[in-house]
Each structure stands twice: as C-alpha cells, then as structure tokens.
Amino acid sequence: MPNVYLRNQLPMLSNQLNLLKARPIILTISCCLALLSQSYAQCTSQLGELKVLNDHRDNGIFICHNDTLKVEVDHYELMDSQQLYYVYHIGEDILNSDYLKVDTMETDGLVNDHFATDTVYVTTIVSKLAISDWLQDSCIVFSNTIEAKCLEYLSAEYDERLLSLFEYEISLQLNGGLPELDSSLYHYVLTGDLNDSLSFNQIGRYIINSNGDESLIINIKDENGCSLTLSPILSTFFFPVELGSFTGNVIGNLHVLEWVTELELENDYFILEVCKDDFTEESHVIPGNGTTFQTNAYSFLNDDTKPGNYTYKLSNVSFDGKVLLLGKLDLITIASNLFPNPTQAKLSFQLQEMPSNLQIQIFDLTGKQILTFNETQIETNTLGFTINVSLLSNGIYVAQIQADDLERIEKFVVQQ
C-alpha cells in the first residue's frame, strides 16, 4: 500500500520540484527589470531644439567674415550636477570631430575670423561628466546639429586713371563674401557714388567727373549682408607722362627704340640719352605732344653703334622746365657679318671657308619669304660674298644663310 501511494504522488512532487528550480530565474529577471526601470527613471534631463539667431537664407546659413555665428537652445531641463554644453566642431559627426570651441550653459557664439575650413557645425549636449568622459555618461543628451558656411572677407582692387583734366576712369574688382562661394548665382551691389552690380572678380569701369581732391563713397554689399565701404580720394597729382612701354631692338649695328605714352600733361619734349660702356655719348631731343589723353607712339633709330654695351635713358621735360626720368633700357651691339647695315643695294658677308651648296633666303618680319639667292646669284669678291637687295623696300629683314655645314640668321635694314 505505501508503495502504491508513493507511486501515485511522484508526478505531483516532480512538478513542485520544477517550480522550485525555475523560481530563481524569475526572481533574477524581475530584479534586472527593476534596476533598469530605476536607471531610466533617473535620466530626467530634457533638451529642446537648437536654433540659429542669425538672419539666414533658405538654402543655408552663411556667416560673413568677422561676424558671429549665434545660436541658442529653445528650452532644456537639467538633472542635478548636469551641464549644458555648446560645442562648435569641424566635422559633422560630433563624436569624431575636432572642437573649435566649447561653451558651458551660455554661449557668445563663434566669430568667423580664423578658420581653416569654410564649414563649421554646432551641437548642444547635456551631461554631468567632463568632455573627455562624455561617452561614459548613460544620461547624455544631444541636440540637433546646425551647419554654417564661413565666408571669405570682402576685398576690392581699386584703381583710377585720368582721362581729361576733369574726367577720371575708375576701375573696381571685388572678391570674397557670398559671390565667391557661388559666383554663378550671387553678385555684389554697389551704392553711393557708384550704382551697379558686379559679379565675383568682374572688373567694373566707371567715368567720374571731378576737379580732383574729392572723396568718393562706394558701398559694397552682397546678398548675405556682407559689406565693405571704400572712401578713395581722387588724386590731383599725376606724372606728366604716363609711359605705357619702352622697348629696344638690335638689328646688326642698329638700335631701334620705341615707346608709347598713355597720357601727357604739358609735355614739351623727350630727351633720349645714349650711353656706351657707362659713358654718355650724346643726347637726342624728340618733341612731345603737350597735353593729350590719347595714346601716342614714338621711335628713334640709332644707326651709328659700335660693338659694346649701350644704355638709353628716356626723360621728359615739361613746359615749366621740370625733368623726369621715365625709363632706362640696356642693349648690346655685337660684330655683325652683314655690311653695310643699313644698306641701299649691296649686302656683303664673310665666311672662313668656301661653303658648298650656299643659299641665302630673305624674309620680312612676319616670316614671309621675299627673295632667294642660290650660288649662281651670289657674287664672290674681295669683300667675301655679296647679294643685291635693291629690289627691297625700306624696312627690316632677316637673312638666312645656309650651306652644307652652315646655318646663320642675321637681321639687316634697307634704307634707300
């Protein structure tokens, strides 16, 4: 009988035993859930939306040079010992970025004056730990991130030129600001004494009537509000001659000097001083054009040079007798194989030995071939070799002397 009783009770005992085994697991899970609930219940901080206070465009936030990026969070609630941080960073991901600036509780913004990048970001963070330990804070809260473009400073290249006694040409070129970021979309607006709009790096030219000593006001602003004001004073002092160029060319024993003036004010005449090997040989007077605002070209031919170093000094003399040095030019004359140079008809040259298949071609300065002389047309005499160039008009030419083992190029002048 007892055996039968025990046998009947075994299934019930087995179920009770299984319940006892499972009870510690249930207790453990309940304990963990309670701890987690308690932990989450402790994180009561709140952080609202981070907003930018600057005026901004629909397509982005742009900060002018030396302006301040200003932000604020619209509301927040902190737990005990927590701090609110404003973090200005370079990369978009705050956890993997270099920080430009970190402000606590309040921020005075970030000034656009020193960045090596044109884009900055700002994010607010709530944490009770120091910056280096943020990731260990289980209650850390991040706001949204604001992106802003830092613009280059506005700058201007200004120049003025006297067109007449009371007329100036003003040239202006602008860069920086919003147009530099996207020159196809944005432009600069000019107000004040100039009213216009310019694109990035465009050169604007304007005519101003003035008797000089007048201060201009030029206000420049881009579509983001970046601004610059210029206050140039129109000059009443100008050099009596504005020299555009002063050049020289050596042709055999000839020196051809040329210069161009952009304007002349009471210019009586030019003095061209010729110096050879640091000694002044002679001076030449070339009449000026008085007062003119047109471009004028001048030239001088020195046809009596010897081998050596020459320096030409160009000066102008005003009607009141004042002398102003305009420029200096160095030229070198080397011994030429062509003579006489200039020539009227015959042109001779010497070679150390008798060449084979001698040929001489004559070109003008544009490279056009004018004449060709073969061996039967080249005269041999005591002077060496001579050709007849009397059919050529006055001007400068190039002689190309060729043979089997020879090639030489020389310039010469025909002066009938």
The count of C-alpha atoms lying within 13 angstroms of the C-alpha of 370, restricted to the half-sphere facing its C-beta, is 18
CB 110 within 8 A of CB 68: yes
Record: fold of 155-230: Immunoglobulin-like (2.60.40)
* Token couple for 175: 């860069």
Tell me which architecture the domain covering 346-414 has in CATH. Sandwich (2.60)
3-class DSSP state of 113: coil
**CATH architecture classification, 46-150:** Sandwich (2.60)
Determine the Cα–Cα distance for residues 295 and 266; give it in Å rounded to an integer: 15
- The predicted model gives 1-22 an average pLDDT of 38
* Among candidate residues 44, 120, 33, the one with its CA nearest the CA of residue 80: 44
Q: What is the pLDDT of residues 258-295, one digit of tens each?
A: 999 998 989 999 999 999 887 888 899 999 999 998 89
Nearest to 119 by CA among 138, 80, 96, 91: 91
More confident residue, 354 or 403: 403
| Rounded distance between C-alpha atoms, residue 328 and residue 246, angstroms | 8
125: which strand partners?
Answer: 85, 142
CA–CA gap between residue 390 and residue 381 (Å, rounded): 18
Edge-to-edge order in the sheet of strand 227-230:
196-198, 188-192, 218-222, 227-230
Burial of 90 (0-12, 13-18, 19+ CB in 10 A): middle
What does the alpha-carbon distance between residue 181 and residue 199 come to, in Å, rounded to a whole number?
A: 12
What are the pLDDT digits (tens) for 379-393? 888 768 899 999 999
Q: Is the pTM of this model over 0.85?
A: no
| Sign, CA torsion 104/110/111/113 | positive
Give the number of other Cβ atoms within 10 Å of residue 338's Cβ. Answer: 21
363-375: average pLDDT: 92
Q: What proportion of the chain, given as a percentage, has pLDDT over 90?
A: 49
Choose between 37 and 283: higher pLDDT. Answer: 283
Check residue 180 and give its pLDDT.
92
Best CATH choice for the domain 241-333 from the list 1.20.58.220, 2.40.50.100, 2.60.40.10, 2.40.40.20: 2.60.40.10
pLDDT value of residue 134: 86
Q: Show the tokens assigned to 398.
A: 């190039």
What does residue 77 show for φ and ψ, rounded to 5 degrees?
A: -130, 130
Q: Give the residue range(s) of CATH 2.60.40.10 domains in the chain.
A: 241-333, 346-414
Q: What is the dihedral of CA 50, 55, 58, 59, to 10 degrees?
A: -80
Whether residue 342 has a cis bond before it, omega within 30° of 0: yes
Each residue's pLDDT tens digit, 153-187: 999 999 988 777 778 889 999 999 999 989 999 99
The pLDDT score that the predictor gives to residue 34 is 39
Are 391 and 371 in contact, with CB atoms under 8 Å apart? yes
At 54, phi and psi to the nearest 5?
A: -70, 150
